[in-house]
Amino acid sequence: ADRAIRLTVDAGKPGATIDRHLFGQFAEQLGHGIYGGIWVGKDSSIPNTRGIRNDVVAALKAIKVPNVRWPGGCYADSYHWRDGIGPNRTTRVNTAWGNVVDSNAFGTDEFMDFAKQVGAEAYISLNVGSGTVAEAQDWMEYMTADQPTTLAKLRAANGHPAPYRVAMMGIGNESWDCGGLMTPDEYTAELRRYARFVGSYNAKEPSMKIAVGPGTDDTAWTEAVMKTWKERHGWSFDIQGLSLHSYTIYDGWPPHMPSTGFDESAYAHVIKETLKMGPLIDKQSAVMDKYDPEKKIALVVDEWGAWLAPTPGTNPAFLMQQNSQRDAILAALNINIFARHADRVRAANIAQMINVLQAMILTDGPKMVLTPTYDVFKMYVPFQDATFIPVSYDAGSYVHGDTTLPRLDAIAARGKDGKVWLSLTNLDPNRPLDVDAAALGFKATSANGQTLSAPKVDSVNTFDHPRTVAPRSISGALKNGAIVLTLPPASVTVVSLQP
């Protein structure tokens, strides 16, 4: 018979804060991510508030989205903010994504309204590739100025006298590729000017400035940005974050792993691929440590998630894919990796929020369905701003063909509610897993929470069968000094340990 895995949760050795911004979302002006997914317009028969879908807002509020990154992505470096304000919008071609007509009906004021309705902070990506420093200055002034300037008055005329808060400000996007094909030296020259001249106009609410970072495990870009920061930062130039983009793409480009109807081998390979996030963060963080041992600069993983084959019959430029129990496992594993690196990784944005790549929500006209990834984000809410607690265990192994994976992945944290929370992922799709959780430094007599499992690893939620994958209650009781729990095959479980 299978032996139980013993975990020791040591509350006596608290670690870093698991920043709530690790649970951020990315919403790009791409396919149906915004148009249809968020924005339906004020005259739509789909229930909305000022054009923004009520069902989507309600669902997002429940997962306590800390921040939303917008308008891109690659789109950001061809976005001109003046196209999307006021009564007369400029219609453009979305050259980043499918050359479709972009009405710009959803612009800055609509984005800020959406963020406010959801309860999220705004993370704005500036156009460095095809914009100018002056255009970016004007945009930040339009959004944040709290004095009666011409642009603040224009914002008021467009319905928002009070300044908006831009909590995070990205200085370009993937400037090594779609954001302008720059060399590290070309980018750091742009970075110095943008970070020098562009920022919040509201002294009480500065924006965290985030430089473009690497998109692979090559460290030349990170070296260049961190060296620039180390040598030049001071009163006139500073940044607070470095971005990292890393998608789970198995077996080369273009992404071609199906999001539905896949076998166990595809499950195991994709999960093995996603676990590379840990070594990638270690490698890039080591370069950051060299220049910034005090960890002043946050590593911001502002694009991550599974990038799979487009859903057959959809526009491939819209990056639509289904979302299965495999995505739920993948999400939990990545969040756990971020939590283990919480001293350096202080924000992250899954790509993308709605209808694009690894989405929380899928919509089709008036219909909406919540994905297994959504449920993971909901179950992890107690980890937002919680304090990391070490948990030790021997993970065992799950072997399929040539692929060996850990059988168990676990993190623990002391929540803001004072409770100790434990997240346990059983990676093995064939065997339930017994665990015994022993508490060090606190009292635990039972565990209560939820587990997300599915009939198969490729099970999905559809508009017709919206809750095939859904969490259900799980509890465990004290036996021989440890809490005993049985984790279903291929499941994500989050429990609080009760005294």
Interface residues with ligand AHR (CB under 6 A) are 28, 72-74, 173-174, 303, 351-352, 357
| Residue closer to ligand AHR, measured from CB, 31 or 489 | 31
User: For residue 322, what are the CA distances in angstroms to 65, 88, 261, 318, 360?
Assistant: 21, 36, 10, 13, 10
Task: State how far the Cα of 458 lies from the Cα of 327, in Å rounded to an integer.
Answer: 9
| Residue closer to ligand AHR, measured from CB, 104 or 426 | 104
By the 8 A CB rule, do 124 and 208 touch?
no
Residue with tokens 């635990």: 444
Is the peptide bond between 352 and the residue preceding it cis, with omega within 30 degrees of 0?
Answer: yes
Task: State how far the Cα of 249 lies from the Cα of 273, in Å rounded to an integer.
Answer: 7
Task: State how far the Cα of 267 lies from the Cα of 364, in Å rounded to an integer.
Answer: 27
By the 8 A CB rule, do 126 and 194 touch?
yes
Q: How far is the CB of 277 from ligand AHR (least distance, A)?
A: 16
223 is catalytic: no
Q: How far is the CB of 184 from ligand AHR (least distance, A)?
A: 18
Q: Name the H helices within 12-64.
A: 54-62
Q: How far is the CB of 179 from ligand AHR (least distance, A)?
A: 8
Is the peptide bond between 73 and the residue preceding it cis, with omega within 30 degrees of 0?
Answer: yes
| Structural tokens at position 333 | 């594993």
| Structural tokens at position 102 | 């972009």
Task: Give the HSE-up count for residue 284: Cα atoms under 13 Å, Cβ half-sphere.
Answer: 28
Q: What are phi and psi of 455, to 5 degrees?
A: -55, -40
Residues in the chain: 499
What is the torsion angle, in degrees rounded to the nearest 10, for the CA atoms of residue 334, residue 339, residue 343 and residue 345?
Answer: 30
Q: How far is the CB of 30 from ligand AHR (least distance, A)?
A: 7
Q: How far is the CB of 74 from ligand AHR (least distance, A)?
A: 4
Q: How far is the CB of 241 from ligand AHR (least distance, A)?
A: 16
Q: How far is the CB of 173 from ligand AHR (least distance, A)?
A: 5
| Residue closer to ligand AHR, measured from CB, 357 or 369 | 357
Q: What's the burial of 300, exposed, middle or buried (CB within 10 Å: 0-12/13-18/19+)?
A: buried
C-beta neighbour count of 55 within 10 angstroms? 15
Q: How far is the CB of 490 from ligand AHR (least distance, A)?
A: 26
Share of the chain residues as helix, strand and coil, in percent rounded to the nearest 5: 25, 30, 45
| Residue closer to ligand AHR, measured from CB, 175 or 222 | 175
| Residue closer to ligand AHR, measured from CB, 113 or 303 | 303
Task: State how far the Cα of 162 lies from the Cα of 112, in Å rounded to an integer.
Answer: 12
Residue nearest to ligand AHR (CB): 73
Residue-wise DSSP of 218-278: --HHHHHHHHHHHHH-SSS----EEEEEEEE--SSSSP---SSS--HHHHHHHHHHHTTHH
Task: State how far the Cα of 136 lies from the Cα of 133, in Å rounded to an integer.
Answer: 5
135 is catalytic: no
Q: How far is the CB of 269 from ligand AHR (least distance, A)?
A: 21
Q: Which of 121, 174, 190, 273 is the catalytic position? A: 174
- Catalytic positions, please? 174, 303
